[in-house]
């Protein structure tokens, strides 16, 4: 590897990842977009402040409860595990987007750069962005532990070094998994689908392994717990089974002697450096193979004799737009991964603890004491949450990028295109129905009629959320992304849609609970939820239809 070229590519990718050049330009020109961006950042900080405060309280109380036992370091272990799993799970999508779908890849490949230099530069660019991901989860336990246990100068120096290395190993693992996956599925007409299924399989294995390693042995729960508590290092070792490097991190910061701390720091940082070296070796063998395979186009099937002479029936424009939207999601694994991820993997994260065991607690007994009406309202809210967190509509226009000019000139009125996009969102939401059936079969005693009610009202609740998401993306589309991942992850419309939708759902839930408290019939509550959702969604659609023609004309690329 030529380090000068590598360093130039690192600087380039960091600038692209954070848009530094653009923000510097906006600042110098005193553009409103610079101050608007600062305002958005402030809104994000304010919105997550309550959750961050609860996390701080939880860490502080854990240390206080474990004071004097020698187990206080478990908060560092837990923080390292949470941060590393987030990097691994989110990193898979980031890596596949940056490594294989960036707009600058064709240009970089044509230059005299080695595969390791290109991939290494992009890896560092993604890695820098991951520091923002891990900071809220890893820094608080380290700081609170240091303040409570009176960490010395060596503790704080080691903390900084460890923070820089924390995301390296999970990012390397995500990168290697992605490169192997891309190289193994670079042939055939269904390679995009195979890649998507491969990413889902990886995440399911990660979550399944996590729950399997942390479950308590059935029938021996108390004995196992007592064994952990009798050993000062037992709780840290048990918690760290999910991710062994977290044990090295903890011992490097909370070890009994400076020598023990230093040896664990060297072990952790050394493994991180070696893993990066393995990635660079793998780049020369796997990177171009997966990249070229991703650019290959399968030969089309031969047209059967007489097929062109047959009369064909044109689809309705709204249905055509909807099918086009779904095809775009399917053909770009990053879009499919991000838009359907929450509808497939996130609910599995809820079901896995139930399937793998709950540490002695009978989940059926717990559900049995919950009011059946609340369970149904919870199912309706689940529908809304799935529509809320899926960014398919809040990035629908932005994802078109420079190709939006095609939507501006095709002979389909903007309001029909809007309806087609909205219809695609409803098609995606259909994936929630099997999850409701699964919950009913496994745990919640919903009848078929209740499932139909949940699905019907769930779609009504999702209606205004989808319309609001699409309205935001129409008003302020984001077209300047450099890779597909940025079209979603750096698109503030996705965040605004989530915040606005959450407020709407919170308002509905609060109102429903208040009406239950005053004794209003649950039937009337269902009716009011449906009417309010339908009315709100209709008003949003009126706004969409009114501004869509003008926005389609005025948007310039």
d(C-alpha 105, C-alpha 97), whole Å: 11
Tell me if 307 is assigned to some domain.
no
Tell me if 235 is assigned to some domain.
yes
d(C-alpha 223, C-alpha 179), whole Å: 44
Residues 15 and 143 in one domain: no
Which phi-psi region, left, alpha or beta, contains residue 320 (left: φ > 0; alpha: ψ -120 to 50)? alpha
pLDDT at residue number 133: 82
Tell me if 483 is assigned to some domain.
yes
Tell me if 308 is assigned to some domain.
no
Helix axes 115-148, 258-282, angle to 10 degrees: 160
Tell me if 54 is assigned to some domain.
no
Residues 283 and 407 in one domain: no
pLDDT at residue number 497: 83
Residues 117 and 161 in one domain: yes
Are 133 and 86 within 8 A, CB to CB? yes
pTM for the full predicted model: 0.64
Residues 332 and 202 in one domain: no
Residues 110 and 165 in one domain: yes
Residues 326 and 278 in one domain: no
Tell me if 358 is assigned to some domain.
yes
pLDDT at residue number 358: 42
Residues 261 and 348 in one domain: no
- In our burial notation (b when 16+ CB lie closer than 10 A, e otherwise), range 357-368 reads beeeeeeeeeee
Residues 332 and 394 in one domain: yes
pLDDT at residue number 212: 61
- As given in the structure block, the two tokens for residue 478 are 């984001």
Residues 291 and 341 in one domain: no
**Domain encompassing residue 446:** 317-554
Residues 288 and 148 in one domain: yes
Tell me if 328 is assigned to some domain.
yes
Residues 246 and 278 in one domain: yes
Q: Which residues contact 337 (CB under 8 A, 6 or more apart)?
A: 92, 93, 96, 196, 199, 200
pLDDT at residue number 359: 41
DSSP-based three-state secondary structure for 481:
coil
Residues 371 and 519 in one domain: yes
Question: How many degrees, rounded to 5, is the angle at CA 368 between CA 363 and CA 373?
Answer: 120
Q: Which residues contact 431 (CB under 8 A, 6 or more apart)?
A: 340, 343, 344
pLDDT at residue number 169: 92
Q: Number of structural domains, the chain?
A: 3
pLDDT at residue number 272: 92
Tell me if 141 is assigned to some domain.
yes
Which stretches of the chain drop beneath a pLDDT of 50? 188, 297-298, 307-308, 353-362
């Amino acid at each position: 590897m030529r380090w000068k070229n590598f360093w130039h590519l690192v600087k380039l990718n960091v600038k692209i990842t954070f848009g530094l050049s653009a923000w510097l330009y906006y600042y110098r020109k005193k553009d409103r977009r610079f101050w608007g961006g600062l305002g958005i950042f402030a809104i994000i900080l304010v919105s997550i402040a309550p959750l961050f405060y609860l996390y701080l309280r939880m860490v502080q109380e854990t240390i206080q409860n474990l004071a004097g036992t020698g187990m206080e370091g478990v908060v560092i272990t837990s923080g390292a595990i949470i941060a590393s799993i987030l990097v691994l799970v989110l990193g898979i999508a980031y890596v596949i987007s940056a490594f294989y779908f960036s707009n600058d890849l064709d240009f970089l490949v044509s230059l005299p750069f080695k595969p390791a230099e290109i991939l290494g530069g992009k890896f560092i660019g993604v890695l820098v962005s991951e520091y923002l991901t891990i900071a809220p989860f890893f820094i608080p336990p380290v700081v609170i532990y240091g303040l409570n246990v009176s960490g010395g100068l060596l503790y704080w120096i080691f903390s900084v070094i460890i923070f820089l290395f924390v995301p390296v190993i999970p990012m390397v693992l995500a990168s290697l998994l992605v490169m192997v996956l891309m190289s193994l599925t670079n042939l055939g007409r269904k390679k995009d689908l195979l890649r998507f299924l491969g990413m889902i399989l990886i995440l399911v294995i990660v979550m399944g392994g996590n729950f399997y390693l942390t479950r308590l042995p059935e029938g021996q729960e108390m004995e196992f717990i007592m064994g952990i508590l009798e050993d000062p290092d037992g709780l840290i070792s048990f918690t760290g089974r999910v991710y062994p490097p977290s044990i090295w991190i903890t011992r490097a910061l909370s070890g009994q002697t400076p020598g023990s701390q230093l040896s664990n720091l060297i072990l952790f940082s050394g493994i991180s450096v070696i893993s990066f070296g393995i990635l660079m070796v793998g780049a020369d063998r796997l990177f171009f193979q997966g990249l070229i395979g991703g650019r290959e186009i399968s030969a089309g099937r031969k047209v059967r004799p007489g097929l062109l002479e047959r009369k064909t029936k044109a689809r309705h424009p709204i249905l055509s737009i909807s099918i086009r939207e779904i095809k775009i999601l399917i053909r770009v694994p990053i879009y499919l991964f991000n838009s359907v991820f929450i509808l497939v993997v996130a609910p599995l994260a809820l079901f896995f603890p139930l399937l793998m065991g709950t540490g002695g607690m009978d989940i059926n007994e717990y559900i049995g004491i919950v009011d059946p009406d609340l369970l149904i309202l919870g199912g309706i809210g689940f529908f809304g949450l799935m529509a809320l967190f899926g960014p398919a509509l809040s990035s629908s226009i932005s994802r078109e990028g420079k190709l939006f000019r095609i939507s501006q000139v095709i002979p389909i009125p903007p309001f029909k295109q809007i309806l087609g996009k909205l219809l695609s969102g409803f098609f995606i939401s259909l994936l929630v129905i099997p999850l409701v059936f699964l919950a009913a079969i496994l745990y919640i005693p919903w009848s078929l009629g209740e499932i139909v009610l949940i699905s019907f009202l769930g779609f009504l609740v999702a209606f205004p959320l989808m319309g609001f998401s699409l309205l935001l993306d129409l008003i302020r589309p984001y077209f300047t992304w450099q890779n597909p991942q940025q079209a979603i992850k750096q698109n503030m419309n996705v965040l605004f849609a989530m915040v606005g939708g959450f407020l709407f759902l919170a308002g509905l839930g609060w109102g429903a609970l208040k009406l239950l408290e005053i004794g209003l019939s649950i039937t009337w509550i269902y009716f009011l939820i449906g009417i309010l959702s339908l009315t709100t969604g209709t008003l949003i659609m009126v706004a969409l239809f009114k501004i869509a023609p003008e926005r389609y004309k005025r948007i310039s690329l």
